[in-house]
Amino acid sequence: MHFRRRYRLYWWTNLLFAVLFLGFGGCRSEDRLSGPELGPTPESPASATVQERTLAPPSIHLRIYPDMVVPGKEVVVEAELVPHMVTESPEFTFKALVDPCEGTLEQEGRRAVYLVPSDCRGSGITLEISVNGSFGTLTKTIDLDIKKTSFMDSVVFTYPVPGQRPQSPISVWWDRTLYQDRNEKLSFRVKRFGEFILETGPLAADQVIELDIPPSPEDVVLYGNTSSGSEETALIRIYSRQVPEWPDNVLLLDRFTLPDSSSLEAPRVPIADGGVCTLGTAWRISAEGREAYLYMHYHVSKAKRYGVHEALMGFREEVPISATGAEYKELEIWMRGDPVRGGASPVYVRVEGSNGSKRTFKVKRVRDDWRPYHFPLDRVLRGSKSERIKAVSVFVDAKDVTPPLGTLLFGGLYLKRHRSKDEQ
């Protein structure tokens, strides 16, 4: 009896241990069987590889600051591979494909700094960024405008500084290369007493203008707009007016109203031995209308800059009427320099006589305001008092002109007579 009880207790005890063993063993067996389907734990390196296979193809993301090329400053470009891959160590390469400024590109890892020269000019810079890795090679290019800006800060209004007396007309200058490359036009308006008294309408990017604003004791607001929608304003005050006028008792040879011929219908021949020389019609715009005059853009060729021979840029025009040294005392030309880049220095004026006489005068510097420059004829026509003036030339020499890129304006050319005995 006791043996049978002990046997039953032994049997139930073994049965209980068997059930418990199967229960725990079954759970562990289920984990082992389901493990490969669930994959490795998130902490394991293999899980990152699986995740990368499901992401979008890699691409290059760029951060550029500032997004413009300003002479004398830096442009920073940072490249990043997107999406970021923990198993990838890409190699970044930066290169300048188009660089008219010939700046310096310094790279450190995925970051590059472009050093912009202070004399940087041109239409734009193109940089190429390449990323190499196990995925292959990715390439991206960016185009940077020179002096690109959301505002019109490359337009310069030449209005007086404090303490000066402003005079009309006012020259308006802007970075013509920049706006021409963008195919933009500009326009200007003048507002006084709450009303617009002058509007230019759309102007081409290479146009040269002056605004003849009437004197006013009240503030005048000048608005400059581009066709892309940007605007800049300048607050000015005009106390007096200064407009070129012809003196009495002169023979007017040229008012410079046409780019290719004089007022006497004599052809004006450009001289472009030292680089690029462009002649065109500029405008003085007032509330009553507009008046034409001549501008000359010159750009020195680097090859001619250091040559040994004359490398001239300018124009020559003949004098088709009889004008002798016995009648006229001096030749006068109204000229003006570029108020942005500075007046050209030096400028040469050559006067030729019909008997072979010739004299070249040197103007050390043409100022950036309108004024007459005088050239005595008795230093030219020395052969005979009956020798007439044959031609007049105005030019700069690529070897010595400063700045090498500039503008000259011409408002009038005339001969001044000798004073009579009564006038003396």
Torsion of CA 31, 32, 36, 37, to 10 degrees: -40
Residue 320, token pair as written in the block: 């088709």
Parallel, antiparallel, or unpaired for β 268-272 and 312-318?
A: antiparallel
Three-class SS state of 368: coil
Q: Are 138 and 96 in contact (CB under 8 A)?
A: no
Residue 334, token pair as written in the block: 């109204």
Spatial distance between the Cα atoms of 228 and 222, rounded to a whole number of angstroms: 18
Spatial distance between the Cα atoms of 146 and 121, rounded to a whole number of angstroms: 7
Spatial distance between the Cα atoms of 422 and 400, rounded to a whole number of angstroms: 45
The single residue listed with the structure tokens 């007579």 is 417
Q: Across the chain, what does the average pLDDT equal?
A: 81
DSSP 150: S
Whether the bond into 166 is cis, omega within 30 of 0: no
* 312 vs 24: which has the higher pLDDT: 312
pLDDT at 21: 40
On the question of pLDDT at 226 being above 70, the answer is yes
Provide the residue type at 172 as one letter: V
Spatial distance between the Cα atoms of 225 and 234, rounded to a whole number of angstroms: 12
On the question of pLDDT at 199 being above 90, the answer is yes
pLDDT at 40: 43
On the question of pLDDT at 394 being above 60, the answer is yes
On the question of pLDDT at 411 being above 70, the answer is yes
Spatial distance between the Cα atoms of 300 and 401, rounded to a whole number of angstroms: 8
On the question of pLDDT at 124 being above 50, the answer is yes
Closest CA to 344 of 395, 292, 268: 395
Highest mean pLDDT among 3-7, 24-28, 343-347, 359-363: 359-363
User: What are the residue boundaries of the structural domains of the chain, listed by start?
Assistant: 59-144, 155-241, 250-417
- State which CATH number among 1.10.405, 2.60.40, 1.10.10, 3.90.1150 fits the domain covering 155-241: 2.60.40
Q: What are phi and psi of 332, to 5 degrees?
A: -130, 140
pLDDT at 51: 45
On the question of pLDDT at 276 being above 60, the answer is yes
Residues 59-144, CATH architecture: Sandwich (2.60)
pLDDT at 113: 92
Burial of 65 per CB tally in 10 Å (0-12, 13-18, 19+): exposed
Whether the bond into 244 is cis, omega within 30 of 0: no
Residue 377, token pair as written in the block: 């004829």
Q: What are phi and psi of 11, to 5 degrees?
A: -65, -45
On the question of pLDDT at 258 being above 50, the answer is yes
On the question of pLDDT at 136 being above 50, the answer is yes
111-135 average pLDDT score: 84
Q: What are phi and psi of 176, to 5 degrees?
A: -65, -35
pLDDT at 147: 58
* 307 vs 115: which has the higher pLDDT: 115
Q: Is 382 left (phi over 0), alpha (psi -120 to 50) or beta?
A: alpha
Which homologous superfamily does the CATH classification assign to the domain defined by 250-417?
A: Galactose-binding lectin (2.60.120.430)
Topology match between the domains 59-144 and 250-417? no
pLDDT at 54: 52
On the question of pLDDT at 26 being above 70, the answer is no
Spatial distance between the Cα atoms of 202 and 226, rounded to a whole number of angstroms: 9
Spatial distance between the Cα atoms of 399 and 386, rounded to a whole number of angstroms: 36
Please name every residue paired with 203 in a beta bridge, in sequence order, or none if there are none: 186
The percent of residues above 70 in pLDDT, for the chain, comes to 80
Q: What are phi and psi of 225, to 5 degrees?
A: -125, 150
Residue 188, token pair as written in the block: 């200007």
DSSP 342: B
Torsion of CA 301, 306, 309, 311, to 10 degrees: 20
**Could you report how far apart the first and last alpha carbons of the chain are, in Å?**
167
Closest CA to 60 of 87, 78, 79, 77: 79
